[in-house]
Chains A and B, each alone.
Chain A
Amino acid sequence: MSPETLILGILGFLGLVSVIATFLAIMERDLLRAVLFSAIQSTVYAFIYYLLMAPDIVLVYIPVAVGLYPAIVLFLIKKTERYEGESGENH
């Protein structure tokens, strides 16, 4: 197996993981867990960017998508309900 094939294989696997994590983030009704799934997807994307040789994007993607963005969403979840559709049933 050539190194190129190996890297393409890893990319494919990481892409698959990101799709699954995205699906779980959409389906999850516990918003805290949804944020964690979204962070997993972001982590996988950071690896993909690195393997695609875009270190500039990796450096901005890791703090923003893995650190700052989940933190902001967690702050917002703290201000609202943790479970989706808890008190929004009547509209």
Chain B
Amino acid sequence: MRTTKENLVIAISMALFVLLLSLVLAVGGLGYILPPPQVRLIASWYLRVTFNPFERLFSAMAPEGVTSIVWDFRGLDTLFETTVFYLAIIGSIAIARGVIGGHKEVDEKKLGLSLIVKSVTRISLGMILAVAASIALHGHLTPGGGFQGGASAAVAPLILLVVFSRYFIEKHGITKNTMLILRSIGLFGIGMTAFIVVIIALASGAPAFVFQNQPKTIAPTGMPFEIGGALTGGTLWFFNVFEMVAVAAGFTIIFLLLAIPEEEYKKILRLGGGEHE
């Protein structure tokens, strides 16, 4: 139980935090005019070169600044963020190793929520996936991108899991292993996209960088930024698509593992190792 004194400490520290933060802003910690009238040098540089056919050597040739920064200007950074996310999922799978989750013979029609909720879910499922796909596939043109689209797409299996039960979705093919395969395809695609310019350049004997998108001074090979007049942003579109697959499948794995009943885990623990090979 918390005492009144502890409650008081929490309340006072939160109030102090807010007041001090407002004090810093009030005395000009971020400048006196917000937002600042002058765009910072690095920001103006990004705004200038994000889509600039007259400076091809510096440009990412995609009109969406954030995606250009995320997958081109600081692409390696994002690659390792993806790696961190992948390692977290590997960790969860390793913890839940040997837990199969039991394919009990259950009547899945009796599981889950009511018929009304199930019907509404069936209708809205397509919309969720459509929105997610549009966020990811247009990521190089409009706000959004691979992670955003993948996180939105992951909401769909989550809702299915809650509304219909785990047995239902595992019966319909959304199992840990298929999601693992999907996730591996996504990661393989990201890896291949990072090397695609190098592979193209090797064929013609020209030098190239890993994670290169558009042509650079000493590496003249680059991805086409438009196909038939439609902007693709070079590698950005491929990165977004593969990242969406990887993120959506990764989140789904986590949900499937969390949805395994606690008794299954305890059974494994009591057996002392379980049935994993």
Binding site for B on A (CB under 8 A): 19, 22-23, 26-27, 29, 55-56, 58-60, 62-64, 67-68, 71-72, 75-76, 79, 85
Is B137 part of the contact surface with A, judged by Cβ < 8 Å?
no
**Shortest CB–CB separation between residue B25 and chain A, in angstroms?**
11
Measured between alpha carbons, how far is A33 from B251 in the docked complex, in Å? 24
Contact of B251 among A27, A29, A60, A68 (CB under 8 A): A68
Measured between alpha carbons, how far is A26 from B148 in the docked complex, in Å? 28
A68 touches B155 (CB 8 A): yes
Measured between alpha carbons, how far is A46 from B254 in the docked complex, in Å? 24
**Shortest CB–CB separation between residue B128 and chain A, in angstroms?**
9
Give the residues in chain A near B11, CB-CB below 8 Å.
Answer: 23
With contact pairs A59-B143, A67-B155, A68-B155 given, residues A75 and B259 touching in the complex (Cβ less than 8 Å): yes
Measured between alpha carbons, how far is A68 from B18 in the docked complex, in Å? 28
Measured between alpha carbons, how far is A56 from B141 in the docked complex, in Å? 12
Give the residues in chain B near A56, CB-CB below 8 Å.
Answer: 66-67, 143-145, 148
| Chain B: number of interface residues, binned into ranges | 20 to 34
Measured between alpha carbons, how far is A60 from B2 in the docked complex, in Å? 35
**B:135-191 near A, CB below 8 Å:** 135, 143-145, 147-148, 151-152, 154-155, 158, 162
Measured between alpha carbons, how far is A25 from B144 in the docked complex, in Å? 30
- Known contacts A63-B151, A63-B154, A71-B162; 14 additional CB pairs below 8 A are A19-B14, A19-B18, A23-B11, A23-B14, A56-B145, A58-B143, A59-B145, A59-B148, A62-B152, A67-B151, A68-B155, A68-B158, A72-B255, A72-B258
Give the residues in chain A near B148, CB-CB below 8 Å.
Answer: 56, 59-60, 63
A75 touches B255 (CB 8 A): yes
Is B20 part of the contact surface with A, judged by Cβ < 8 Å?
no
Measured between alpha carbons, how far is A72 from B154 in the docked complex, in Å? 12
A59 touches B254 (CB 8 A): no
Give the residues in chain A near B262, CB-CB below 8 Å.
Answer: 79
B135 touches A72 (CB 8 A): no
Is B1 part of the contact surface with A, judged by Cβ < 8 Å?
yes
With contact pairs A71-B255, A75-B258, A76-B258 given, residues A59 and B158 touching in the complex (Cβ less than 8 Å): no
Is B210 part of the contact surface with A, judged by Cβ < 8 Å?
no
